Amino acid sequence: VISDHYEFELAVNAHRMQSEFYLMFSGAGKPIGGHKIGTAIYDYYLIHTVTAGEGLFVCNDAPYPCREGDTFCIFPGVPFSYQADKSNPWEYSWAGFSGSGSGELLRLIGVSAERPVASHTTEQAFQYYGMTRRALLENEYPSLTDLECSAYLKLMLIALGKSNPAHIADGAGDRSETERLVKYAARVIKTQYANPIAIESLADSIGYHRVYFSKIFTDYYGKSPKQYLKAVRMEQAELLLMSTALSIEQVAESVGYGDPLYFSKQFQKWSGMPPSEYRRKKRQG
């Protein structure tokens, strides 16, 4: 609980990805026995989920026999080929996608060029392929189609990750529970700075005493929680002063200071000049 004025529940996203990600196309089909594609190199990601039959996927010269329930992934810049079995050719759905966040997304669910196949793909994951295609074909609200089909593909990848939990890169690379909690606290500050934040409540919410929390936070970030919060608020205040016409009072309110006079004093300590002067100087170059 952060405020005395009301009770609420808060969930903060501590795993934000700075990523662009979009679906290019999606399809489903059944090649004839022995049909082969490649060896070739593409410049996008192409993921296939086998729903029946069998075939051979080759990535970087390494063979990966695939059958129902297997999902294999082609990576941009990595040579591959794949071929349907002669007597029992596979059927599969596929989706091509691109964007800077794609690699990280796949790594999160344990898929990489060194480990390009995930097994035990669920029926649910498979259904998302169909929903993706339907969104593209029906195109009911064209301006929403990109959002929708990319969302379905993400849901499909999530389902894929959940069906191979052992390979999920969990903890997002954190080396310890402490690190995870400290990062969570920093994320709370970064997203909630516009509201009153008591360091003690924040410490409580992750199960630490304020004294110990202050120590581990400072060890990790090089500044105390309070300093960190103030830096977030002041940097945002500078941005607002420069890029908006908000009054000083409104800027103060926007960065979590209820008392504009007090905000001005703090700002002066921070930047060496009062907010109004800061705005004037930055505006005239």
**Binding stretches for DNA (CB under 7 A):** 178, 198-200, 208-212, 214-215, 218, 224-227, 230, 257-259, 262, 266
Q: How far is the CB of 208 from DNA (least distance, A)?
A: 6
Q: Which is nearer to DNA, 86 or 215 (CB)?
A: 215
Q: Which is nearer to DNA, 82 or 208 (CB)?
A: 208
Give min distance, CB of 197 to DNA, in A: 7
At closest approach, how far in Å is the CB of 211 from DNA? 4
| Smallest distance, DNA to C-beta of residue 91, A | 52
State the nearest-atom distance from the C-beta of 177 to DNA, in Å.
9
Amino acid identity at 255: V
Q: Which is nearer to DNA, 141 or 262 (CB)?
A: 262
Exposure class string for 132-157: b at 16+ Cβ within 10 A, else e: bbebbeeeeeeeebeebbbbbbbbbb
Q: Compare residues 80 and 267 and give the one whose CB is closer to DNA.
A: 267
The Cα 84–Cα 146 span in angstroms is 31
**Least distance CB 200 / DNA (angstroms):** 4
Where would I find the beta strands (DSSP E) of the chain?
22-29, 36-40, 45-52, 54-59, 62-67, 71-74, 80-84, 91-98, 117-118
| Closest alpha carbon to 106 in 21, 13, 12 | 21
**Cβ distance to DNA smaller for residue 116 or 275:** 275
> Whose Cβ is closer to DNA: residue 112's or residue 214's?
214
- Please tell me the distance from the alpha carbon of residue 147 to that of residue 145, in angstroms, as a whole number: 5
The amino acid occupying position 239 is L
Choose between 39 and 276: whose C-beta lies nearer to DNA. Answer: 276
Q: Within 10 Å of residue 200's Cβ, how many Cβ atoms? A: 14
Cβ neighbour number for residue 13 with a 10 Å cutoff: 9
Residues 6+ apart with CB under 8 A from 44: 24, 76, 96, 97, 98
Which tokens hold the place of 234?
Answer: 């002041």
Smallest separation, CB 241 to DNA (Å): 18
